[in-house]
Amino acid sequence: MPGFRSVVRCHRCGNLVTTVILVNTACAKCGASLHCCAQCESFDPGARYECMQPITSRVTPKDAFTTCQHFEARSTVERETGSVKQTTARSAFDDLFRN
C-alpha cells in the first residue's frame, strides 16, 4: 500500500526542494527565488493583498524575492508512488491481456 509524504516543490517548475529555504535560496532547476510570496503558506489570491497574514501593503511581484517575516514554505502531501519493478508503457499494456 502506498504511503504519503510531505514535500516542498518549486512554485515555478515543480522541482522537489530538498534544502532548507533561506532568504537567498533559489531553485536548483529553474533559478526562481524560493523565498517569495508565491512559495509561502500564507499566499492566497482571494485574500486582502493576496496574503492571509496581517500585512499593511501589497507585495509585488509575487514570484520575486521578499524579506517578509511571515514567510513559511508551502508544503504539499503527495502519495509515494515508487515501485520496485520498472515497467514501460508497452509492457504495462501487454500485461492487461495476459491470462
Report pLDDT for 4.
87
Report pLDDT for 86.
58
Assessment of whether the complete model's pTM goes beyond 0.85: no
Q: Give the span between the Cα atoms of 26 and 32, in whole angstroms.
A: 5
Q: Give the span between the Cα atoms of 63 and 80, in whole angstroms.
A: 28
Band of pLDDT at residue 1, cut at 50, 70 and 90? low
Per residue in 40-86, pLDDT tens?
A: 999 999 999 999 999 999 999 998 999 989 999 999 998 887 655 55
